[in-house]
Structure 1
């Protein structure tokens, strides 16, 4: 029994390292980490992908002699996977922020549903944009780019050498700041058509209210504000979503150093 124990643990150690990183990414990956996806599906997907990817990873660490190093490497691999999945989550959260801005401008800020990026209650426009983005991710084969990025991640965060998190603390902080900046700028760009149109409505309503103060113009403009907001959103959707998907793809390619 002891000989069998010594046989299978070192042989499976490389697979366990790859599996935990893939499991961490899939647990936060957009489209797969939502509450309506069965956790067993995510588990088996990580199991299968790790089984395929393990022979492709060339710099796997050897089996450690100390139990503490064994546990530490496995925990650090799962944490790196969570970090990589969080990068994608932050980029996708731009749609939640844009949806909140759009909902506020259209008087829909109190209408909530479960968002795709955060799995929290977000404004309805954010849910709508998030669903479109997840569908486009699989239609445009971005999941293949994500899988290639996971394989390249072993060149950025080598397995087994990532136990010293202080060595990467500066890089990780800079990466998070850059991704947050890109995400917020992207949210403003996506929400800008509706913001501009509704500001023009408010300006026109203010002028009319000064000319005809007897009319409660802002109550009259509320239905028009919602209608024009939806019209501006749908009229620019064919430009906004390709722009978001292009920015999302470029962020993945830049971060994972993928050669297209």
Structure 2
């Protein structure tokens, strides 16, 4: 092994790979179940080799005992999973928006396989999740992931104690913001549904003999989806701006 790399270099590479591999396991797009594990591992190895000259100086020295080595590796895996979980959890904003739109357009019963969540969900929710992942790569937001991997070694340095309280507070804040954003993204359809239901109820009271349900049900679907389609451009723009802001929290460490 000494002919190719010293034991210290192998140790540093293993630590970097542990964090990078854990992050890629959770990242949107790359960490999905339909991506072959060999592709994820190969990408993690390549990124680890690229980042090694940049972050090797801040890594701890090779421990003398096996227990210490295992402890450091587990710590880096936990840090990687924490970072990846934060970046993935913000995608729940699109899932929330899709569920609200489906309920307001009476399409909540239309279930389909959601490849982003590996479980059934509403059709609109699955569409928005795929749209969000596409926007991340189409707008080169995934480049911020690479910068965030470098910045994470300054924000959460391996030599410093792991502060789980800060991560918990940030995770709660991220989930709260994602839920609020989901409601905001579905606001046009919510406003339409409120006005439409009030108008339907008024017509039903004024004309009791008129079968309002048979007229309101198809109109609710057609008009609701029309409003959703018209607001789709703004929805995608607002989401990707907020997501880039979250990714820049980690990328800011690299810029600093």
Q: TM-score, normalised by structure 2?
A: 0.93
* Deviation at residue 134 of structure 1 after TM alignment: 1.0
SS at match of 2:157: coil
Contact 1:97–1:126 (Cα < 8 Å) also in 2? yes
CA separation in 1, counterparts of 2:113 and 2:146?
Answer: 27
CA separation in 2, counterparts of 1:244 and 1:105?
Answer: 21
Is 1:253 paired with 2:248? yes
Q: Spell out the pairing of 1:1-260 with structure 2 (5 A cutoff).
A: 8-57=6-55, 58-115=57-114, 117-162=116-161, 167-258=162-253, 259=255
Contact 1:93–1:117 (Cα < 8 Å) also in 2? no
CA separation in 2, counterparts of 1:110 and 1:9?
Answer: 58
* Deviation at residue 129 of structure 1 after TM alignment: 1.2
SS at match of 1:122: strand
Contact 2:34–2:115 (Cα < 8 Å) also in 1? no
* Deviation at residue 216 of structure 1 after TM alignment: 2.6
After superposition, the Cα gap between the structure-2 partners of 1:83 and 1:38, relative to the gap in structure 1 and judged at 3 Å, is same
Contact 2:13–2:49 (Cα < 8 Å) also in 1? yes
Structure 2 unpaired stretches of 5+: none
* Deviation at residue 128 of structure 1 after TM alignment: 1.1
CA separation in 1, counterparts of 2:172 and 2:28?
Answer: 20
After superposition, the Cα gap between the structure-2 partners of 1:114 and 1:84, relative to the gap in structure 1 and judged at 3 Å, is farther
Q: TM-score, normalised by structure 1?
A: 0.91
CA separation in 2, counterparts of 1:75 and 1:114?
Answer: 33
* Deviation at residue 221 of structure 1 after TM alignment: 0.9
SS at match of 1:114: strand
* Deviation at residue 186 of structure 1 after TM alignment: 0.7
CA separation in 1, counterparts of 2:232 and 2:41?
Answer: 35
SS at match of 1:113: strand
| Higher RCO (Cα < 8 Å, 6 or more apart) | 2
Judge which range, 247-256 or 94-103, deviates more: 247-256
After superposition, the Cα gap between the structure-2 partners of 1:153 and 1:31, relative to the gap in structure 1 and judged at 3 Å, is same
Counting matched residue pairs gives 253
RMSD, matched Cα: 1.9
